């Protein structure tokens, strides 16, 4: 199930306005991604109660990202990318680890983005909810 056009419209406008640079930020594939996390896929812990749902992630060319769950904006932050590592810092929101950063190894295809918080065998994100949402399964790219 895709996110509604109403929820994605502001992000699509932002990405469209940056069309001349749309493609990569330090080789990272910017764009809009989604993943659905089912209740039975989440460990039964108090910090994971808000994890199940349809998640959307917008990575803008200007180094900003947004995370939505079920069409509701939950996190706004920044990211930097260098080589095969992306570092996210949550600035505002009602979910996750605000003002905390986490780094992820990434790989991508035309259709998917795979993130792992294990870099050289070391856990590189101390935020368990962010790590779970981003690393549970591949994120599917939404074509623009």
- Tens of pLDDT, residue by residue over 31-71, are 999 999 999 999 888 778 889 999 999 999 999 999 999 99
CATH of span 5-142:
2.40.128
**pLDDT tens-digit readout, 97-121:** 888 899 999 999 999 999 999 888 8
By C-alpha distance, which of 54, 24, 45, 15 is closest to 140? 54
Q: Where are the beta strands (DSSP E) in the chain?
A: 24-25, 28-29, 31-37, 53-59, 64-69, 72-82, 85-93, 101-108, 112-116, 118-119, 122-123, 139-142
The whole-model pTM stands at: 0.81
Q: Would you state the pLDDT for residue 140? A: 98
């Amino acid at each position: 199930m895709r996110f509604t056009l109403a929820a994605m419209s502001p992000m699509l406008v932002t990405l469209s306005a940056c069309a001349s640079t749309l493609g990569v930020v330090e080789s990272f594939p910017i764009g809009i991604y989604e993943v659905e996390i089912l209740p039975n896929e989440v460990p039964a812990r108090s910090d994971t109660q808000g994890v199940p749902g349809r998640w959307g992630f917008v990575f803008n060319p200007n180094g900003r990202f947004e995370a939505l769950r079920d069409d509701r904006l939950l996190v706004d932050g920044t990211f930097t990318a260098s080589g095969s590592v992306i570092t996210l810092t949550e600035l505002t929101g009602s979910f996750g680890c605000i003002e905390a950063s986490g780094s992820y190894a990434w790989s991508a295809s035309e259709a998917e983005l795979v993130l792992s918080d294990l870099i050289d065998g070391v856990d590189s994100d101390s935020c368990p909810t962010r790590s779970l949402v981003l690393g549970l399964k591949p994120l599917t790219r939404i074509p623009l």
